[in-house]
Amino acid sequence: MGKTVLVIGGGGREHAIVDALSRSSQVSKIYCAPGNAGIGEQAFNVPLKDTDVNGLLEFAYSHKVDLTVVGPEAALSAGIVDAFRAHGLAIFGHTAAATAIESSKEFAKKLMAKYGIPTASYKAFSDYEEALAYVSGRPFPAVLKYDGLAAGKGVVIAANLKEADSALRSMLLDKSFGLGRVVVEDFLQGPEFSFLCFVNGADVYPMPLSQDHKRAFDGDKGPNTGGMGAYTGLPFITEEDKVFALENIMKKAASAMVSEGLPLSGVLYGGLMKTPDGIKVIEFNARFGDPETEVVLPLLESDIFDIFYGIATGSAIKTPKWSSDVTLGVVLASNGYPGSYKKGFEIRGLDSINCQVYHMGTSIKQGSPLHLSDMDPYNRSEWCNGSIVTSGGRVLMVVARGTDLATARDQVYREIAKIDCDNLFYRNDIAHVAFE
Ligand code: AMP
Ligand code: GLY
């Protein structure tokens, strides 16, 4: 009997996970909650929110799901792994307590200090006056991090005291983020990169390194976004760097979590920086990155079901095998993103694209607009016939692979030109570091 898998989430990351699962000979049915238009072509979309733990638990039970795979951190923080395990269901992802490695900056900083994992030195504050006095006596720019999940808006790099003051006021006095604690840390410099690893307790299995592009526009200009493109095959990282990051950062962090009684059982994502003083941690995430997953998972040559299921059940897994190809992916986002943007623009031309397209924020429109929650997950024609429309800030990611980055880049931009939609923009310089 083939296995039934439920994937939680509905962005490009989850599309890449569904795509990898669909390559497994063991998997016969994939559900995705809530999914999106592209995912709907490869899986059954289920109209449940990623944080609806009880609804998802009931669904997994009643649909005889053999394995659940969690994409977003919000679902992990909501305790989905704890709830599924308590009911004897196999689920890939960390417990809510272990997710603190991402959700609490102070937890992560303390862990790194205790176990000698290289990172910027820091001090944490809950009092505005104390924090301001500390920052006043230190060099600028100052890095201020709100302690808690803040949807990517919790980090301020203040150029001077005025900027620092206004950030500290909003974080500690206005309580605009909720909890009211701030980590102040040294400003580091150097290229950033993402190191995603499968972690099974103390066992760490590295994935290919990748680099995200956080700014909205070419030349790394404009506001910070969730990520406008990514690639593998980083030109500025040596084999020695990779070994250092694996041994002294990722493996140390996994063992540290075991020692703390919070073993990891999913993906650990090191947001790392190659500084003049060596590689240091900027942040840890407790999940696959987005858009990094879309360039990393296409390179996996092993069966991803074995990896997910082994880790979900705490059993040993075989070391995953990866292609030596490289990948490059470009995000197409709605005009206005990361600020406000309109939805519902029709996307044409996807059928003629000769490389991978992952959907990040799309839905289906048939005559009158349909919301995901109105769709029948079992009616395949609903998902395969209507027209595809934009429904998010980041909408599509086009990914090409090749033996070198120039080939992948040329293909991606050639294929993107075939996409016809009135409201999308993208960066023209993804992987520019590799071509300078
Ligand atoms: P984080 O949410 O901690 O990843 O921070 C978001 C972004 O802020 C990072 O991707 C970096 O570009 C920047 N950043 C965070 N911490 C530092 C630091 N200590 N020095 C320089 N830049 C930083
Ligand atoms: N690519 C950034 C993130 O997934 O957090």
Per-residue pLDDT of the chain in tens (436 residues, 90 and over written 9): 799 999 999 999 999 999 999 999 999 999 999 999 999 999 999 999 999 999 999 999 999 999 999 999 999 999 999 999 999 999 999 999 999 999 888 899 999 999 999 999 999 999 999 999 999 999 999 999 988 655 455 789 999 999 999 999 888 887 666 657 899 999 999 999 999 999 999 999 999 999 999 999 999 999 999 999 999 999 999 999 999 999 999 999 999 999 999 999 999 999 999 999 999 999 999 999 999 999 999 999 999 999 999 999 999 999 999 999 999 999 999 999 999 999 999 999 999 999 999 999 999 886 544 444 555 555 555 555 678 999 999 999 999 999 999 999 999 999 999 999 999 999 999 999 999 8
Nearest atom (ligand 2) to Cα of 287: 4
User: How far is the centre of ligand 1, averaged over its atoms, from the C-alpha of 155 (Å)?
Assistant: 7
User: How far is the centre of ligand 1, averaged over its atoms, from the C-alpha of 113 (Å)?
Assistant: 17
Name the amino acid, one letter, at 52.
D
Q: Which residues line ligand 2 (CB under 6 A)?
A: 212, 227, 285, 289-290, 292
User: How far is the centre of ligand 1, averaged over its atoms, from the C-alpha of 52 (Å)?
Assistant: 31
Among all bound ligands, the one having the nearest atom to the CA of 152 is: 1
Q: Is the CB of 120 under 6 A from ligand 1?
A: yes
Residues 6+ apart with CB under 8 A from 26: 2, 3, 303, 305, 306
Backbone angles phi, psi at 300, to 5 degrees: -75, 125
**What is the Cα–Cα distance from 92 to 169, expressed in whole angstroms?**
39
Q: Say what the pTM is.
A: 0.94
3-class secondary structure, 59 = helix
> How many beta carbons lie within 10 A of that of residue 236, not counting itself?
12
**What is the Cα–Cα distance from 135 to 137, expressed in whole angstroms?**
5
Residue whose CA is at the smallest distance from ligand 2 atom 5: 289
Residues 6+ apart with CB under 8 A from 416: 330, 332, 398, 426
> How many beta carbons lie within 10 A of that of residue 371, not counting itself?
11
**What is the Cα–Cα distance from 28 to 26, expressed in whole angstroms?**
6
